[in-house]
Amino acid sequence: MDFSYKEKNLIASLGITLLVFGWYFYQVFSNQMLTLEHEFTFNDILRPIILIVVLEIIIQSFLAGKNKNKEDERDALIESASYKNGYWVLSIGVWFLLIQLLYIGSGGWYDILKNASPSFISHLLLLFFVLAEVTNFITQLYYHRKGV
Amino acid sequence: MSQQNLADKVGVTRQTIFAIEKNKYSPSLEVAFKISNEFKVPLEEIFIYD
């Protein structure tokens, strides 16, 4: 299969994001570290972000050296169309958290996060950011193949 | 002329030329005029509005 520079770029970004944040969220949620006793620092969240930036720089510089006519108007159009889908995912996540935070502790059936620590809620927000980014990458790849 | 040659002359990627050929992408006026200039034929002989 013949991939353009932009598609290779997207596949690399998607793979890196899924690997790094998949590993990170697996560790965070499976170990049940998000209790009130366990203190999460900003460095814990910063670590995977720095890892992604470093990996992206390495892979993008490798890809950029081998390709001419890197990006064109079609890539820009696909990018802007895909950002809308990512925005919807992020909006749904933020609204969900907003409503949960308003009703936290009320004891109703809708109070899903009643026992959640602030760390858990902030990681949930981070998860929605990552899901929005993944949606953006997948939509771009889809538009590149199926047309926009 | 190969897709890559045309893409290089017009300043887009080969995949964009392929998408235009397959009717999966409508190019900007600038790219459309560049393509018609390359083939030295009027715009309406290459692109049809339907």
When CB atoms are compared, the residue of A2, A7, A73 closest to B12 is A73
Contacts of B28 in chain A (CB under 8 A): 73
Q: Of A134, A146, A131, which Cα lies nearest the Cα of A15? A: A134
Nearest CA in chain B to A67: B13
- The interface pTM score, or ipTM, of the predicted complex is 0.86
Reported as a single tens digit per residue, the pLDDT across A7-39 is 888 999 999 999 999 999 988 887 655 555 566
Q: Name residues of chain A where pLDDT drops below 70.
A: 1, 31-40, 66-69
Q: How far is B45 from chain A (nearest CA, A)?
A: 22
Domains of chain A, by residue range, sit at 5-146
Domain B3-46 top-level CATH class: mainly alpha
- Report the 10 Å Cβ neighbour count for A47: 13
Task: State whether residue A73 sits within 8 Å of chain B by CB.
Answer: yes
